[in-house]
Each structure stands twice: as C-alpha cells, then as structure tokens.
Structure 1
Amino acid sequence: MTQAPNIVLTGHIDVPEERREAIRAALPAHIQLTRAEPGCLSFLVVEDRCHPGRFNVSERFTDRAAFDAHQARMKSSDWATITAGIPRHYTVTEVPA
C-alpha cells in the first residue's frame, strides 16, 4: 500500500511595520495551536533577520486531509483576523512521506 505524500508549505509573509507588533504578539498562540493539530509534523514561523517585516513560514503535514483541516481552522482563528489583508507568498508541494 502506498503512503500518502506529506504536504509541505514554504514561503513568507511581508508584514507592514505598523502591524508587526500585533503579529509578534499573536504568533506564539498560532504556533502552539498549529503544532497541536492532528497530522502536523512541523510548523515554524521565523522573523527574517535580513528583511525587516518578513516572516518565513515552513509547515509539514502528514497528508492533504491534515493540511486542509489546518487551513480550515486557521481561516476562522484569531491569527486570520490579525493577518487579514497581508499577502502570503507560499508554495505548497507534495513530498514522499
């Protein structure tokens, strides 16, 4: 039986200066909630030292269903409200488990 591929998201968000403190304040809860989700293998959001306001994102989920469940939860979260309107620059790929 073939195992479903992991779903990997990588990329960044560029946060305007006037919204950075709110993002920084909300980030620990967002990370904690995401890492507790079933199927989350890894989840990192790190502020880029070379690009002010850029937050690099890396996520890995066991399969498409886990990734989709994360996306659904996130869309109705405080994080979604706090980051509303900030463009995401993400790539989502399937990789062997």
Structure 2
Amino acid sequence: MDNKTGRVRLSGFLRCSSMSDVQIVKHHLPEHLRLTSAEPGCLSFDVSQTDDPLVWRVEERFVDRTAFDFHQQRTRASGWFTATSAIARDYTISGLEQNEQE
C-alpha cells in the first residue's frame, strides 16, 4: 500500500522569539516526538534546530488525511501544544487536496 497521492506532508519552521522559548521546545520535544512517532499512520516526524538557534525545522509525513487529522487533534490536547502555543509556526501542508477528492 504505497499510495503516494494519499500522503500528507507538513513542512516548515517553529520560530522561537527568545532563548526561553528554545528551552521550552527542548524540554517538551522528546515526549512530543515519542508520542507522534507512535501514532498510527505516522511515516516520519522530525523537528530539528537549524543554524539559527531560535528556528526549528519541522518535517512530518502521514499516510493519509485521517492519520494527519488524528495527529492534529492529539497534539492540540497535549502538553506540547499548551507549552508551545505562543511560539510562531510557519508551515506548508501538502496532500490534503488529493484526499479531499477521494
């Protein structure tokens, strides 16, 4: 089952405004990575600090929209979201259009 058209990809950046924000990300990220990687339909999930210590690269891939939506719902109810909700996110999501047509 390798239907690439059904896959959803989120790509972008988490942009901290201070080193305090960076510490929040560093503190909460390991559990967020662990929980997300264990989700059904998660193909890959990577959050890594860039050369700019305030900016984190985010790359997520899910098997389909159902898996992506589940991730979004779980994340919004998590400690990660509560702790990082004030940190700016700059994301592009692709693959939702194909899923809507199915």
Distance 1:14 1:52 in 2: 9
Q: Which residue of 2 aligns with 1:47?
A: 49
Give the unaligned 5+ runs of structure 1: none
- List per-residue Cα deviations over 1:12-63 (Å, max 9, x = no partner): 01112222112101101000000000000000000002x2210100000000
Give the unaligned 5+ runs of structure 2: none
**TM-score when normalising by structure 2:** 0.85
Q: Which residue of 1 aligns with 2:35?
A: 33
Distance 1:66 1:82 in 2: 23
Cα deviation, residue 89, structure 1: 0.3
Q: Please show how residues 52-71 of structure 1 align to structure 2 within 5 Å.
A: 52-71=53-72
- Does the 8 Å contact 2:15/2:54 carry over to 1? yes
Tell me, what secondary structure is at the counterpart of 1:89? strand
* RMSD, matched Cα: 1.6
**TM-score when normalising by structure 1:** 0.89
Q: Which residue of 2 aligns with 1:10?
A: 11
Q: Which residue of 1 aligns with 2:25?
A: 23
Distance 1:44 1:32 in 2: 11
Partner amino acid, structure 1, of 2:78: S
Tell me, what secondary structure is at the counterpart of 1:43? strand
Cα deviation, residue 5, structure 1: 1.1
Q: Percent identity?
A: 40
- Deviating above 6 A after TM superposition, structure 1's stretches of 4 or more consecutive aligned residues are none
Report the count of equivalent residues.
93
More helix by share: 2
